[in-house]
Structure 1
Amino acid sequence: MLLNVSYSDKEMTRKIDLLVGKPFSLKQRWALGGIGSPRLFITETSTGIRNLLILDNNRDQCNIELRPSGIIVRFRSLLETYALVIPFYKLTVYKGDLGIYSIHKDHHFIKVNAETKAVQKFFKKLLDYKVDNAPTTIEDL
């Protein structure tokens, strides 16, 4: 689900919380060693996201927030903030050549550059958390 999250909206927040869970508590964030990614530089995206990013001349970048049941990929275009909300059961991550990670959900995708150790460490944490917490049967959803 691709959303404009620039403005506070209780209904949109409720939808996001239903899809990927409420944000972690401070104690849980501390136990996980942080839930946010470093700054990720976007190299390629799907058409819908690309149409948003080309509206300004800034360097395309995003960050990822880990949630109990999924992730939220946030990026900015002009003065608006957009979020790609991805539950774990729809999340697919590929590691490509030259340190490129590709994050897929249905027809949306974002490819990011992962040259630094911090980015690679975050993706390892993300994938390990997904394996431990993703639903295994349809009843778990």
Structure 2
Amino acid sequence: MLLNVSYSRIEITRKVDAEVGKPFTLKERWALGGIGSPKLFITAASMQIRNLLILDNNIDCCNIELRPKGIIVRFRSLLESYALVIPFYKLVIYKGDMAMYTIYRDNYFIKVRSDTKAIQKFFKKILDYKTDNKPTSIEDL
């Protein structure tokens, strides 16, 4: 689900919380060693996201927030902020060559450079958290 999150609206907050859960508490963030990614540089994206990114001449970058039931990929275009909300059951991550990760949700994708150890470590954290908190039944979704 691709959303414009520039303005604080309760219906968008409810949609995001229903999809990927409420944000972690400070204690949980500390225990996880942080829930936010370093700055990620976008090298390719699906048509819907690409159409938003080409509106300005800035460097295309994003960041990822880990949530209890998924992730949120946030990026900016012009003066607007957008979020690609991805629950774990729809999240697919491919590691390409040495310096690329591709994040998929249905017909959306974002390809990012992973040229530092911090980025690779964060993607490992996402995948480990996803496998450790896999739902055991259909009701857990």
Provide the TM-score with structure 1 as the length reference.
0.98
Amino acid at match of 2:138: I
Structure 1 runs of 4+ aligned residues shifted over 6 Å read: none
C-alpha contact (below 8 Å) 1:69/1:134 kept by paired residues: no
Structure 2: state its 5+ residue gaps: none
For residues 10 and 111 of structure 1, the distance between their equivalents in structure 2, rounded to whole angstroms, comes to 30
Match of residue 47 from structure 2: 47
Q: Which residue of structure 2 aligns with residue 36 of structure 1?
A: 36
Residue aligning to 2:108? 108
Structure 1 residues not aligned, in runs of 5+: none
Post-superposition CA distance 1:88-117 (Å, at most 9, x none): 000000000131000000000000000100
Which aligned pairs between 1:117-128 and structure 2 lie closer than 5 A? Answer: 117-128=117-128
RMSD, aligned α-carbons: 0.7
Please name the residue that 2:71 is paired with.
Answer: 71
1:11 alignment partner in structure 2: 11
Q: Aligned-pair distance for 1:138?
A: 1.8
Give the letter for the 2:108 counterpart.
H
Name the residue aligned to 1:88.
88
Distance in 1 of aligned mates of 2:128 and 2:98: 22
8 Å contact 1:93–1:104 — kept in the other structure?
yes
Q: 3-state SS of the aligned residue for 1:57? A: coil
Aligned to 2:98: 98
TM-score by length of 2: 0.98
The total of aligned residue pairs comes to 141
AA at the equivalent of 1:109: F
Q: Which whole-Å CA distance do the structure 2 matches of 1:60 and 1:136 have between them?
A: 38
Alignment partners' CA distance in 2, 1:112 and 1:137: 32
What amino acid sits opposite 1:19 in the alignment?
A: E
Matched residues in 2 for 1:51 and 1:136: separation? 38
For residue 129 of structure 1, report the CA deviation from its aligned partner.
0.2
CA distance in 2, matches of 1:81, 1:31: 28
2 CA distance for matches of 1:88 and 1:133?
9
